[in-house]
Chain A
Amino acid sequence: EVQLVESGGGLVQPGGSLRLSCAASGFTFNTYWMTWVRQAPGKGLEWVADIREDGGEKFYADSVTGRFTISRDNVKNSLYLQMNSLRAEDTAVYYCAIWVRFSGDIRSESFQHWGQGTLVAVSA
């Protein structure tokens, strides 16, 4: 069974840092792109960042570029999001998900299997 378990959320002051983790199991982690998506309280979903299977490519939303860093450890089957210079508007539940890019040999793009999320609250 595929499982994604986020951790590391909490309350942090503006300007502070936090590192989120996503522990993956039940699938071959090093063969999938992974992604972070967030949801501010009462708001919609917002894509944050994603990372290639080997960590060699990373992409970020404009809202977090230069402040957040996505990374992965394929030995530990874990995904990370280092968040620096946090702002009140970064307050959200952060979800990790598997980005599936192929269905067999056919190009496909979707987020499959989501974690339950971890809450980050940025407040003084």
Chain B
Amino acid sequence: QTVLTQEPSFSVSPGGTVTLTCGLSSGSVSGGYFPNWYQQTPGQAPRTLIYDTSTRSSGVPDRFSGSILGNKAALTITGAQADDESDYYCALYMGRGLWVFGGGTKLTVL
């Protein structure tokens, strides 16, 4: 069974930089998995932030960026703001119509 591992929680100071990661149990994350990142605040639907590793979705501020760091997908927030406090989920496309989500990272901005 494929498992994506994310940090359960992370804290960043306002104006600071934070990098969240997404690891794959069966090996390395590559662009071939089209890594996606989704942001979700309590009671709201997910919002697409990043897809295809590093492409920002429409309307997403450029303080959000995606990359591959080592063998993981990464989401970096540069200049964190209070309203970035959310849950962040990575997702990989495994092929043949199958997707898998990570367990999510709860980001606190304080």
A-B interaction: yes
Interface residues of B in 1-45 (CB under 8 A from A): 1, 34, 36, 38, 40, 45
Task: Report how far A25 CA is from B38 CA in the complex, Å.
Answer: 22
Q: Are B89 and A109 in contact (CB under 8 A)?
A: no
Q: Are B91 and A111 in contact (CB under 8 A)?
A: yes
Q: Are A44 and B104 in contact (CB under 8 A)?
A: yes
Q: Are A111 and B48 in contact (CB under 8 A)?
A: yes
Task: Report how far A1 CA is from B77 CA in the complex, Å.
Answer: 28
Nearest residue, chain A, Cβ from B87: A44
Q: Are A45 and B89 in contact (CB under 8 A)?
A: yes
A108 to chain B, nearest CB (A): 5
Interface residues of B in 57-109 (CB under 8 A from A): 57, 87, 89, 91, 93, 96-104
Determine which of A59, A112, A116 lies in contact with B97 in the assembled complex, contact meaning CB atoms within 8 Å. A59
Q: Are B103 and A108 in contact (CB under 8 A)?
A: no
Q: Are B57 and A110 in contact (CB under 8 A)?
A: yes
- On B, residues with C-beta under 8 Å from A are 1, 34, 36, 38, 40, 45-48, 51-52, 55, 57, 87, 89, 91, 93, 96-104
